[in-house]
Amino acid sequence: MALYLTPSALGYLTQLVMALCITGYMASLVWRSARRQALECHVVLFTAFFGALFGFLVLLFLEAALPPSPRLFAVFLQVPFLVGGWIFLLQFSYHFPVLPTKLRREARWSLFASGLYALWEIGYAAYRFARLRAGVLDIASTGPITCCSCSCCGRR
């Protein structure tokens, strides 16, 4: 599969390398603190946020670098990765530096609500994949388009 290194793809690649360095450094902090049995929840949440951000940047790079038909697979997965990062960042904001006792219930409710939203977005991405597999491409401005012969859904 060909990758087209457009200016936007190179910009995303640069951000991807930076996010990989930050995620690697944060993962090493988690690894070292886990070996010392001094693991702190906010460090794990922040590391998970950067991991989700890295995954989102990979998908942005693939969207900019892939040909039009295969890029749809990256586009459909962008929002679930973004929502995953949002959940980790939201929980990090509650747990940094320590989760106060009076905010525990609020933190759990926000985790529950954002988890439901994440499940909704994952389900919608699965729905879009199923529609694409059936040969129907949903575009908001024009409505559903039936594919006849494209490489994205496998029909000929």
In-domain check, residue 155: no
Lookup result for tokens 């950067």: 50
**Cβ neighbours, 10 Å, residue 61:** 22
Distance, CA of 71 to CA of 81 (rounded, Å): 16
In-domain check, residue 27: yes
Residue numbers of the domain that contains 100: 7-146
Q: Are 25 and 47 in contact (CB under 8 A)?
A: no
Amino acid present at 81: F
Going by C-alpha positions, the residue among 153, 143, 148, 138 that lies closest to residue 69 is 153
| pLDDT tens column, 59-103 | 999 999 999 888 888 999 999 999 999 999 999 999 898 888 999
Q: Output the six-digit token pair for 90.
A: 């939201």
The pTM for the full model equals 0.83
In-domain check, residue 156: no
What is the number of structural domains in the chain?
1
Q: What is the percent of the chain where pLDDT is above 70?
A: 88
